Every structure is written in structure tokens, then in C-alpha cells.
Amino acid sequence: MAWFLNDFSVLDIFGTIFNLTPAGFLKSERTNQMRLSKFDKNISGPIIGTFDTESGESSAPGQTFLLIDDEPMITDICELMLKKLGYEVLKANSGSEGLKIFEANKNRIDLIISDYNMPGMNGQEVVDKVRVIDHSVKVLLSSGGLSVPHEEDALGRGFNGFLQKPYSIDLLSDKIAEVLN
């Protein structure tokens, strides 16, 4: 048996309140697990993973993402969101640090989420250098600045998608699914 929280519900997990639009949670009364699922009005769609509300364990994809942003608060918040979704996270607070982490972990990084406007090596320089090392890795541009490329422009510059700051956990989840698929 499962129950459904509608689009206007919120849920508190470890003190964090999540708005459930457009992602939603289904909770099994027997297993006490929550399934994070993308769904339409008929509550259908692919299951992203499960989250056990008692143990805090997740069975989501197990993929590794690299976050690159010169604002530590942003990487910390995004890391929390990604871990809630079940991903492993590596963090860098500059483009050059991100490139070093990528070079050392290129075989296990499934997605890079990078800011655009950073001192030193900016997001464009990061994606250009990453593409020389591994042309197939997915890179999601995330920025809130006015002097950044928009979605169409980002796709033409070597990024696989664009995520406008600020963003919610559900928008982040949607963008990840879009870029990885």
C-alpha cells in the first residue's frame, strides 16, 4: 500500500523541507521507504531511487557528479540536494581545482555541474579543457549571472544543458535526467 502527496505537499527529511512539484514521493507503509518518482497525473513514470526513512539509506543510481562553483555555500547546498537524490558528489571551489579533480577521477564522473562566472578559469574554459580529456562526459552549466549563455547558447558551447540559479531539488532532478538521457 502506498500513499501519494499531491503537488502542494511538503515533506520534512532530516530537517529539510522539499516542495514536491514536479517530483513526488511515494511511501510504502509496509517498508517505510520513499520512492522518488517522476510522474504525471496518473502517478506513473520512471523510479529514480528509493530512500529509507528510518535508516537514511538511498538506492538511487550511484552515479558520481562533480560540482564546480566558486561559492562554497552553493556547492554545499547542491551537494546536499544531490546526496538526497542518491548521487555521490565531488566538489571544487574553482575551475582549476575542478579540472584537477576531473583528471584524477575521469573514469568515475558521470556529470559535471559547473558555474560559469568564476575567477581564474571560468566555466567555458573548464568545459573546453574537459572536452579535450573526455569528449563524452556530460556537463551541465549552472549560473545565475546576466552575462552567461542561455540554454541554446550553452548547448552550442559544449555544455549539455543549462540550469538557471537559483534552482530547487525538483528542477535539479529534472535537468539531471534530461542531460543524462
> What is the DSSP secondary-structure string of 90-146?
EEESSHHHHHHHHHHHTTTEEEEEE-SS-SSS-HHHHHHHHHHH-TTSEEEEEE--S
Question: pTM (2 decimals)?
Answer: 0.67
Dihedral angle, C-alpha 68, 178, 11, 91, nearest 10 °: -10
Question: In the chain, what are the helix, strand and coil shares in percent, each to the nearest 5?
Answer: 30, 30, 40
Tens digits of residue pLDDT in 6-28: 333 333 333 333 333 334 444 33
In angstroms, what CA-CA distances link 168 with 39, 72, 79?
A: 17, 17, 13
**What pLDDT band is residue 119 in, cutting at 50, 70 and 90?**
very high
Q: Is the dihedral of CA 146, 109, 92, 58 positive or negative?
A: positive
Integer distance in angstroms from the first to the last C-alpha of the chain? 30
Tens digits of residue pLDDT in 93-109: 999 999 999 999 999 99
SS3 156: helix
Phi then psi for residue 120, to 5 deg, are: 80, -115
Q: Which residues are CB-contacts of 95 (< 8 A; sequence separation ≥ 6)?
A: 68, 114, 118, 120, 121, 122, 123, 125, 126
Tens digits of residue pLDDT in 32-63: 344 444 333 333 334 444 444 455 444 455 79
What class, spelled out in words, does domain 64-180 have in CATH?
alpha beta
Residue 150 pLDDT = 64
Extents of the domains making up the chain: 2-52, 64-180
Average pLDDT rounded to a whole number, residues 128-156 = 82
Q: Which residues are CB-contacts of 5 (< 8 A; sequence separation ≥ 6)?
A: 11, 20, 24, 25
SS3 168: coil
CA separation for the pair 142, 113 (Å, rounded): 6
CB-neighbour burial class of residue 40 (10 A; exposed 0-12, middle 13-18, buried 19+): exposed
